[in-house]
């Protein structure tokens, strides 16, 4: 199947980083999720392996592959993919995600029928089938206790603060306006993406999706979570290859988001936020290091 003539109805944008096995599964799912006579797929391949890339190109000749020797981050990769895309709808998808049949047309229909909607995200299930917290409120003081990775959320998932922050419980069965969506899978009106100049590339990875949704909401666009269509996300396959670096990137991105969107008091609070994040980072890295050492010891 050869690439379609421009412009496309929808462009699926994927940033791959050494996840070729997962990428093959993702691209296979997209052949069912999209109408390849109308839609296109663009993959930016960071730290590209020529041999693996050639295998992808042979198996999926209709995919536009963009190799890169460097790894400038997720947001930069999506921006590079968008620059080569022609669709009026951009479907951002992680390479370790599997789209359900019909996702493409479902997303396009949102933008064709709802002119106020700038972004739409589906229900996201983990590899174990659990509903992921892919739609949330913008971070605030309650996120410290009720955020997706907070201790309280893990220990008591149904607590009030977690319910306030995480908006994807099984009781949510109809579309819902939300603050922000996970970049694991989100559809974006091309007009909105261009208006916002895409993702902020200063976020290497993590929180660039919240930042983009924040700017879209401030520009007057609606952000919608639609649980009637779904994707399966194995999760963190790229970040697991460099867990310490990924943890550092996460905390740096939290600080950048705070400095960018923390309001008038952000300068006063910045030293305290910085110190709190450094403490959390040190604790997280220490726990991961001890866990890895214990696992290795038990393996012997």
User: Which positions ≥6 away from 61 have C-beta within 8 Å?
Assistant: 1, 2
CA distance 209 to 203: 9
Work out the angle at residue 184's Cα, subtended by the Cα atoms of residues 146 and 153, and round it to the nearest 5 degrees.
15
Residue of 101, 79, 100 lying closest to 90 (CA atoms): 79
Would you state the pLDDT for residue 123?
Answer: 98
Would you state the pLDDT for residue 68?
Answer: 98
Would you state the pLDDT for residue 281?
Answer: 86
Residue 18 has pLDDT above 70, yes or no: yes
Residue of 270, 248, 249 lying closest to 259 (CA atoms): 270
Mean residue pLDDT of the chain comes to 92
Spatial contact of 217 and 146, defined as CB atoms under 8 Å apart: no
Would you state the pLDDT for residue 267?
Answer: 84
> Judging by beta carbons within 10 Å of its beta carbon (0-12, 13-18, 19+), is residue 103 exposed, middle or buried?
buried
In tens, the pLDDT along 157-185 reads 888 888 889 999 999 999 999 999 999 99
Please state the separation of Cα 151 from the chain's center in Å: 22
Q: How far apart are the first and last CA of the chain?
A: 50
Would you state the pLDDT for residue 298?
Answer: 67
CA distance 25 to 254: 31
Please state the separation of Cα 164 from the chain's center in Å: 21
Architecture of domain 10-132+168-237: Alpha-Beta Complex (3.90)
Please give the structure tokens belonging to residue 87: 């669709």
Would you state the pLDDT for residue 295?
Answer: 63
Spans of all domains in the chain: 10-132+168-237, 243-299
Backbone angles phi, psi at 297, to 5 degrees: -65, -45
Please give the structure tokens belonging to residue 110: 């949102």
| CA distances in angstroms from 141 to 145, 165, 207, 216, listed in the order given | 8, 10, 16, 22
C-alpha gyration radius of the chain: 19
In tens, the pLDDT along 250-270 reads 999 999 999 999 988 888 899
Neighbours of 115 (CB within 10 A): 11
Mean pLDDT of 179-194: 98
In tens, the pLDDT along 86-122 reads 999 999 999 999 999 999 999 999 999 999 999 999 9
Spatial contact of 79 and 50, defined as CB atoms under 8 Å apart: no
Q: What share of the chain is helix, strand, coil (3-state, %, to 5)?
A: 45, 20, 35
């Amino acid at each position: 199947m050869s690439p379609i003539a421009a412009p496309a109805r929808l462009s699926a944008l994927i940033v791959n980083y050494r996840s070729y096995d997962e990428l093959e599964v993702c691209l296979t799912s997209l052949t069912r999720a999209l109408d390849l006579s109308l839609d296109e797929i663009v993959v930016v391949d960071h730290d590209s392996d020529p041999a693996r890339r050639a295998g992808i190109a042979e198996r999926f000749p209709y995919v536009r592959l963009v190799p890169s020797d460097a790894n400038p981050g997720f947001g930069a990769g999506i921006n590079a993919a968008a620059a080569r895309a022609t669709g009026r709808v951009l479907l951002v998808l992680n390479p370790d995600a599997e789209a359900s049949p019909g996702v493409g047309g479902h997303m396009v229909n949102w933008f064709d029928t709802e002119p106020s909607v700038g972004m739409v995200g589906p229900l996201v299930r983990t590899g174990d089938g659990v509903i992921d917290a892919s739609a949330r409120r913008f971070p605030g003081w309650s996120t410290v206790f009720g955020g997706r990775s907070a201790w309280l959320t893990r220990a008591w998932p149904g607590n009030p603060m977690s319910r306030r922050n995480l908006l994807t419980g099984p009781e949510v069965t109809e579309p819902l306006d939300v603050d922000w969506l996970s970049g694991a899978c989100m559809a974006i009106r091309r007009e909105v993406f261009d208006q916002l100049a895409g993702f902020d590339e200063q976020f290497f990875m993590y929180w660039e999706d919240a930042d983009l949704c924040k700017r879209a909401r401030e520009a007057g666009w609606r952000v919608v979570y639609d649980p009637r269509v779904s994707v399966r996300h194995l999760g963190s396959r790229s970040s697991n290859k460099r867990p310490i670096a990924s943890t550092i990137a996460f905390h740096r991105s939290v600080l950048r988001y705070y400095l960018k969107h923390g309001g008038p008091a952000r300068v006063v609070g910045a030293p305290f936020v910085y110190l709190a994040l450094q403490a959390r980072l040190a604790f997280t890295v220490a726990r991961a290091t001890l866990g890895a050492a214990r696992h290795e010891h038990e393996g012997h």
